[in-house]
Amino acid sequence: MPFEEREHTADILMHVWASDIPLLFEECGYALMAVMYRGSARPDYSYSITVTGTDHEQLLQAFLSELLCLTEIENIVFSEIAVTLHDGSLTASLAGEPFNRDVHGGGTEVKGISFCGLSISRQNDNYVLDILFDV
């Protein structure tokens, strides 16, 4: 699991790393799902989303905001996330199953994805970032 929760006074701060940018975005999506839901989900239903942005940080914030919105509106817990980056846009293929309180309950409600401190950097062989989930 290439993410870990870090201490924060009011919200949830996740430290995420991956070998490339698309994988970093995917891991951020998995970190969001791990905060919101417990248990595992089957890839029974498929979705696709596309967002735009002027840089990687804007694309990431837009992607995670759209993922958050979709999981809440469709009541789906995503278990598979595949990200493709294009010039100024991102497309994600998603798969998951409907929320089941007995299986997925006990997570933390996330209200939004913060831009505060959002900066992707390179450390050794990985891209890393700290991302703040507003709860």
4 has a pLDDT exceeding 70? no
Average pLDDT on 55-70 reads: 98
pLDDT value for 115: 83
pLDDT value for 51: 98
| Host domain of residue 116 | 20-134
Alpha carbon 81 to its chain centroid, in Å, reads: 9
Say which residue the tokens 């595992």 belong to: 40
In a domain, 45, yes or no: yes
Q: How many domains does the chain have?
A: 1
Q: Dihedral of the CA atoms 59, 51, 10, 21 (nearest 10)?
A: -40
Average pLDDT on 100-105 reads: 96
pLDDT value for 73: 97
In a domain, 62, yes or no: yes
Q: What predicted TM-score, i.e. pTM, was given to this entire model? A: 0.93
Which residue blocks in the chain are alpha helix, DSSP H?
21-36, 56-74, 101-104
In a domain, 35, yes or no: yes
Say which residue the tokens 């993922």 belong to: 67
In a domain, 10, yes or no: no
In a domain, 43, yes or no: yes
Return the CATH number at 34.
3.55.10.10
In a domain, 103, yes or no: yes
Radius of gyration of the chain (CA): 14
